[in-house]
Amino acid sequence: PSLIFADEPTSGLDSFAAEKVVQSLRSLADDGRTVVCSVHQPRGSIFGMFDDLLLLADGKVVYMGPRDDVVQYFSKNGYTCPEYINPAEFLSDLIAVDFSSPEAETESRGRIDKLVEAFAKSSLHKEMESTALDIPVSGKISHARESARVGWLSQFRLLLSRAWKQVSRDKKNNLARLIPSIMSALLFGTIYWKLKLTQAAAMDRMGLLQVASINTAMLSLVKTLYVFPKERNIVDGERAKGSYEVLPYFLSKLCAELPVAAIFPSIFASILYPMAGLHGGFRRFGRFLSSVVVHSFAC
């Protein structure tokens, strides 16, 4: 993409990893892309990678302009950055509200109000306004969200493509379902090894069918417990923005999940069926297979 928005890409990272992330964003910018990102308390090397800065205090603009001019700008307004001090740390302390005491809060808010007022009267603010006025704005922009919304089939197609990529690339979760399926099939096959065709073995066969159904249903919960909490936050955010409707999302997830979800109970049944010595024949095996697959879909 030609425009990249990164919301706090360095949050939760140590200083070394944060620098590597910003270096990647810097390389994208050097390739001609526009990168807009928000950062908190960056180290000096990270601060030096930015071209322009937008400093906000309580949602008010304190500074907007070139990064190279920010220290000189605040120095002209009576706030000189000490030597050998990271300018990013100096600026963060300068525009932060101090809640340690009522007096400190009043003083810090007064300082911020002066900085906001000073920027509003500066040449940088006038330049920002003139730049904004030069940007052509269509009269239909207020209706862009409604007019740009794609149809139901397009939503389904895009969501299906994304859901399939998520399912097929989720190696960790797929492996977590494959190994228990094989191990449980071997375990049950050993317990119910070569059941005889007698009246006494009828109860054993019923028990085998019961544990097979329960096992496949429980294994299918692995993905739900692992994926659902993470994906819920993403879907809630996208739904709040009106990106798509519920039905296309549900159907796309269903269509993407079913083929992959059927593989694991099929492997389980293919191992267990001959070990237990159940009736031969493709038709009877198909009934057993369909039973465990349907039980896995139920969860």
User: Which pLDDT score is estimated for 44?
Assistant: 86
The one-digit pLDDT tens for each residue of the chain (299 residues) are 788 898 888 888 888 888 899 999 999 999 888 999 988 778 888 888 999 999 888 888 899 988 888 999 999 888 898 888 888 889 888 888 888 888 988 998 999 999 999 988 888 888 877 766 565 655 554 444 444 457 888 888 888 998 888 888 888 888 878 888 888 888 888 888 887 777 777 777 888 888 888 888 777 777 777 777 778 888 888 887 778 888 888 898 888 888 887 888 888 888 888 888 887 778 888 888 888 888 777 66
User: Which pLDDT score is estimated for 127?
Assistant: 81
Strand partners, 61: 56
Strands 60-66 and 52-57: antiparallel
Q: What is the pTM of this model?
A: 0.45
- CA separation for the pair 120, 77 (Å, rounded): 13
Task: Please tell me whether residue 32 adopts helix, strand or coil conformation.
Answer: coil
User: Which pLDDT score is estimated for 36?
Assistant: 92
Fill in the DSSP letter of residue 197: S
- CA separation for the pair 160, 290 (Å, rounded): 25
Residue 27's φ and ψ, nearest 5 degrees, are -65, -35
Alpha helices (H) in the chain, listed in sequence order: 15-30, 44-47, 70-76, 87-94, 102-120, 123-134, 144-148, 152-169, 171-191, 202-240, 246-276, 282-298
Fill in the DSSP letter of residue 143: G
User: Which pLDDT score is estimated for 147?
Assistant: 44
User: Which pLDDT score is estimated for 145?
Assistant: 46
- CA separation for the pair 166, 255 (Å, rounded): 13
Please check whether residue 295 is in contact with residue 206, taking contact to mean a CB–CB distance below 8 angstroms. Answer: no
- Please list, in sequence order, all residues whose beta carbon lies within 8 angstroms of the beta carbon of residue 23, skipping any fewer than 6 positions away: 49
Tokens of 76: 């002209």
- CA separation for the pair 260, 173 (Å, rounded): 11
- CA separation for the pair 148, 132 (Å, rounded): 24
Q: For residue 277, with 0-12 CB atoms within 10 Å meaning exposed, 13-18 middle and 19 or more buried, which class applies?
A: middle
CA angle (227 as vertex; 261, 293 as ends), nearest 5: 20
Among left, alpha and beta (phi > 0; psi -120 to 50; other), residue 241 is: alpha
Q: For residue 35, with 0-12 CB atoms within 10 Å meaning exposed, 13-18 middle and 19 or more buried, which class applies?
A: buried
- Of how many residues is the chain composed? 299
- CA separation for the pair 225, 177 (Å, rounded): 12
- CA separation for the pair 206, 29 (Å, rounded): 65
Number of Cβ within a 10 Å radius of residue 252: 21
User: Which pLDDT score is estimated for 142?
Assistant: 47
SS3 for 217-240 is HHHHHHHHHHHHHHHHHHHHHHHH
Amino acid at 9: P
